[in-house]
Structure 1
Amino acid sequence: MLLTIATTQQPATDLGFLLMRHPDNVHSVELPFGRATLFYPEASEERCTAAITLEVDPVALVRGRGAVEDQYVNDRPYAASSLLSVALGRLLGTAMSGRSKQRQELADSAIPLEVSLTPLPARGGADLLKMLFEPLGYEVSADPILLDPAHPDWGVSPYVSLRLAGELRLADLLSHLYVLIPVLDNDKHYYIGEAEIEKLMRKGEGWLDGHPAREMIVQRYLRGLGGLVRAANAQFDERVEAEEAEVHASRDAAEEAIEKPIRLNDQRMERVVALIREMGATRVVDLGCGEGKLLRALLKVPGLSQITGVEVAPRVLANASSRMKLDTMSDGQRQRIELLQGSLVYRDKRLSGFDVAAVIEVIEHMEAERLSAFEAAVFGHAQPAAVIITTPNREYNVLFEGMAPDAMRHPDHRFEWTRAEFQHWAESVAQAYNYGVRFEGIGAEDPGHGHPTQLAVFSRADATKVAA
């Protein structure tokens, strides 16, 4: 089996620093079941490719102290599987951890990466490949492999040659492959126990928690062992909840206290609802819906046939359901509302086809380096006809009583933009994804500092249903 990882980030030979493997040398590691070898078929300033081959000894799989399989015929010696994940961990463990002795800044950066892997079991086909990798920002393509090239009439095998392309950290790429290769194979070559949960939590940190297919990934990674699957999902939920509970608690305690005297949150909801009415939308999604304040307001708008709220934390979604009284809602109203657990930085086909996406006081809670993933997921993949985004105006903060200089309104805010910064970002996104954009403010305008909340309305250039 052959795995290649290439980059055009210049100087491309810095890939050797990231992998901790010099491009001029061949690097091998002995494994209980064979040998993994890394070498560089090309290494120039413009493009560098690292190739990893895994040679599996079929006898070692079933004999001696290093035995990892029962004695039966299988594809382990020939196709990518959990054996390759083990090899990656042994050969590139430091790179997978995100550490680099001489290029740490580069290791922390998203760079263009291309991957080729063959032959890869894809027990689920092309749809499964896209379900797993596209939400993580990859372009995915796969060529089926014939059962026998000499007999094309026999049809294709369950194996493919996979190609991935994306811009991300190398450590993230390696972690994705480590977890998802066994998921595609839907099997493992060793005993599955509680240690696998810890491994999955560690390798999946930062990306698996909110993946749209998380439950299926956990199910297949743990070979469907019910007790382990339930324990792993519970730990993922707890990790998400621990982060989100703090965010929502501090939002209530801090931001609302600052903005309450001018009813700013009420004004935001009123203006967003008014815009959605003006657009004549019928299908609206609230991305980062929290406990559902906007959703409750939208239920009062006639003509909306579908209202969807998306939030990463299950407990917050449960609170939204409770506040909207979904259990006692009439059938007609209940059919209009849907709550989904999901992340705004992953491509999710459930979020496609909406007239309007509302993103209200959300982007400032994201790490700046994750904004590009949010942009790709919402504007590039979901492509609603219109997007409404609100965010604080940092220039106005000096007018809030009791705010310390240079403080932000919310303890969890990663940034707060000036009007010029917000407009620059919004115009760049609009240009990149073929949207138009216009701006307005919410709250009383100060001559020198503007409105307390800034708002952008994006309209897709080819959309005809919803007015700009």
Structure 2
Amino acid sequence: MHLILKASGEGAGNVSHLLSKNPNNVYDRTDKGVRVRMVYTTATERETEVLMHAEPDPVDLVRGTPDGYDITQYINDREFVTSSLFCSYIRSALGTALNGKPKEAYVQWVGHPFDMELTFGPVASDLPDRAIEELFSPLGYAVTLEREELAYTFDLKKKSTVRRIILRGQVTVQNALRQLFLLIPVLDNYKHYFISEDEIDKIKRYGEGWLDSHPLKEMIIKRTLRFAELIRQYERQEGVLSAPVEAMNAGDEDMSAYEKGDGPDVPSLQEEPPVRLNELRYRAITDVVAGLTLKRRIVDMGAGEGKLSARLAYIPGVESILAVEPSGQSRLRAMERFARLEGRSGIAAMPEPVIGSLFYFDEQMKHQDVMILCEVIEHIEAYRLDGIMDTIMNEYQPGVLLVTTPNKEYNEVYEMEQESLRHHDHRFEWTRAELVAQCETWTKQGEYSFEISGIGEHAEGFGHPTQLVIFRKERRDQHEG
């Protein structure tokens, strides 16, 4: 994770004084397992270039965290990407520049705009290229995005979400750093610390002079504060009376930015916030299950934090719900959610959290009335799905199998980049025709029929954002005689 700041033109040699770091000395500090270095690669009267690099200890990143027992803690990008972690690592080294308080002889240069080039990355962002450009171009920057070439041995993603960002424009050192310290976490959409009222003060401090006029201010505020109450508190302090806030709560991490209403062309604060696509999926699935004749035993495969399982618990006639999930952290959250169902009226069956995966056969999954894969298959490499579906249809043999998955064609309605995926963990997304072809292949050897419908707002020529497949096990006597 790094940031390169290059200033050119009159007085550029004074940048080292604004940063309060001597060009002749290498700044090299290690604190709490993180090594931070600042090195000047150029230091003349008309040009200064400084590299800021942070190198954390990957073990320290996860030590003492709630998911410390989960092996997936080591399979992440936090050690490498430029995120809120990076900003916190280098903040103490840049305190003088951020506060605009160099030695008195150089105060005059605090408000001086230099010809600036800022290069930082890699950045892992769920935002498309166009949205990133719209974050920085209103600030006067020309934006360049670079990607590394992908060299997978089999088909995964066509386009990486990881990018290196280069900004060029006339800006003061203080404003450049303040803008980056606020917008880098917005790009990464991740905060490694508890988000409190202090975050509001940070927005005001770093956003002074530019945030109020930014066309994407609402999105910046939402992705920075995340929680509805903090957003409302910010607005009260700013004297803004807004409509109801649809916040981005921590439990929504498996949803794409677009499904959360977070895309650049989707206002985050609306007079009547639209119902989220995730909510529409849950409604559609529960409606189908409620209308089934046989629904006593249900398997929610890939149940995550148990949101869907908790809704299925209210359906009359349901007697058991297996909420199957491989992630230990998600199961803990599901258990907390299920515990809150205790004693509530209308509960037909309490969901049971189960450790499991589609990659491992589990005898207790056999012959259930309903099996549900809600937004699951797209997180699996496509070449493995034939084997998984064979196991489900010929070994588990549920009476009804419900599968939801994104409709790739609808990404154009979201104005996403070509071949971009809605979530960083998606391995593929299929068009309507591709899904039909897959379903025909899966049911060719089995005893299932299928029908496909859409979930979410329909767009002419593109269909619905989510595809719902209902596989029904056919009775043997239908094939006899």
Q: Normalising by the residue count of structure 1, what TM-score does the alignment of the two structures yield?
A: 0.47
Structure 1 or 2: larger helix share?
A: 1
